[in-house]
């Protein structure tokens, strides 16, 4: 699955992550303890006009199941997760485990050249189209459309070259396992 598809899939899973002024950090990652449906961030206004932020089971909101889980205050739940995460990171074995997982993912990303190959193909296609236009111009077929299309292709090729260079640079951002461990250690 390509990077764009993954981003789109993520947005389908956690559409409410950026609903409000601030993020619901657990949207797309939180599941109901009773019905196992996803939980999502929501807000509501009380009689006094105060806005309250909370997480609610999606099965309740979409009337899929008769789930009896009550909504949970956003701040309470997120603070609890943050506190447990910090407690988890105080354990050396946990840091070793997590560092190794992050390192393996980092290496996998470095080896994935799918985006680079797509960019190179796009550039090559544009170069081919540009060359065809140049041949047409050499044969005397020159119009305002061919001129503007050639200029458009030249800009596109330059942009793809920049994107290709950026994609190639990611291979120079190499993290070692020790770098990751050092970052995770408080």
User: What's the confidence (pLDDT) of residue 1?
Assistant: 55
Determine the pLDDT at residue 13.
52
| Residue 75 and residue 148 share a domain | no
Of 88, 109, 138, which marks where a domain is finished? 88
Please give the mean pLDDT across all residues of the chain.
Answer: 84
51: enclosing H helix or E strand: strand 51-57
Angle at 175 between CA 171 and CA 178, to 5 degrees: 160
Which pLDDT score, from 0 to 100, does residue 88 have?
86
Q: Mark whether 30 and 80 lie in a shared domain.
A: yes
Average pLDDT over residues 5-24: 56
Same domain, 71 and 132: no
Q: Burial level of 6, CB count in 10 A (0-12/13-18/19+)? A: exposed
> Taking phi first (over 0 means left), then psi (-120 to 50 degrees means alpha), and beta for anything else, what does residue 140 get?
left
Is the torsion defined by CA of 29, 30, 33, 36 positive or negative? negative
My answer on whether 114 and 170 are in the same domain is yes
- How confident is the model over 51-58, as a mean pLDDT? 90
Q: Residues 55, 120: one domain?
A: no
Report pLDDT for 19: 47
pLDDT level of residue 18 (50, 70, 90 thresholds): very low
Is the predicted pLDDT of residue 165 greater than 80, yes or no? yes
State the residue range of the domain holding 69: 3-88
Q: 111: which 2 tokens?
A: 């080896």
Kindly indicate the confidence band of residue 6, based on its pLDDT and cuts at 50, 70 and 90: low
Rounded to whole angstroms, the Cα distance separating 73 from 94 reads 28
Tell me if 14 sits within 8 A of 28, measured CB to CB: yes
Question: What is the pTM for the complete model shown?
Answer: 0.50
Q: How far apart are the C-alpha atoms of 71 and 124, rounded to whole Å?
A: 53
Residues 65 and 135 grouped into a single domain: no
The residue-averaged pLDDT of 90-116 equals 89
Q: Are both 128 and 144 inside the same structural domain? A: yes
Question: pLDDT tens digits for 114-152?
Answer: 889 999 999 999 999 999 999 988 888 888 888 899 999
Sign of the CA dihedral with 29 first, then 9, 11, and 121 last = positive
Residues 43 and 62 reside in one and the same domain: yes
Number of domains in the chain: 2
What is the pLDDT, as a whole number, of residue 17? 45
Q: Residues 172, 99: one domain? A: yes
- Do 62 and 126 fall within a single domain? no
Q: Tell which of 88, 118, 137 closes a domain.
A: 88
């Amino acid at each position: 699955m390509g990077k764009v598809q993954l981003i789109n899939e993520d947005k389908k899973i956690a559409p409410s992550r950026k609903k409000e002024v601030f993020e619901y950090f657990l949207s797309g990652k939180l599941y109901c303890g009773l019905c196992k449906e996803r939980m999502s961030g929501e807000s509501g206004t009380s009689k006094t006009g105060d806005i309250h932020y909370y997480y609610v089971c999606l099965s309740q909101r979409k009337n899929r199941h008769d789930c009896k889980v009550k909504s949970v205050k956003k701040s309470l739940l997120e603070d609890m997760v943050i506190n447990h995460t910090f407690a988890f990171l105080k354990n050396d074995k946990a840091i070793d485990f997590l560092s190794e997982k992050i390192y393996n993912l980092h290496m996998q990303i470095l080896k994935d050249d799918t985006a680079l190959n797509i960019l190179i193909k796009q550039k090559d296609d544009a170069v081919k189209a540009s060359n065809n236009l140049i041949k047409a111009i050499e044969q005397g077929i020159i119009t305002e459309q061919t001129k503007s299309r050639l200029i458009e292709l030249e800009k596109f090729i330059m942009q793809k070259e920049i994107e290709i260079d950026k994609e190639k640079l990611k291979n120079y951002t190499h993290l070692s396992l020790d770098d990751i461990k050092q970052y995770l250690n408080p």
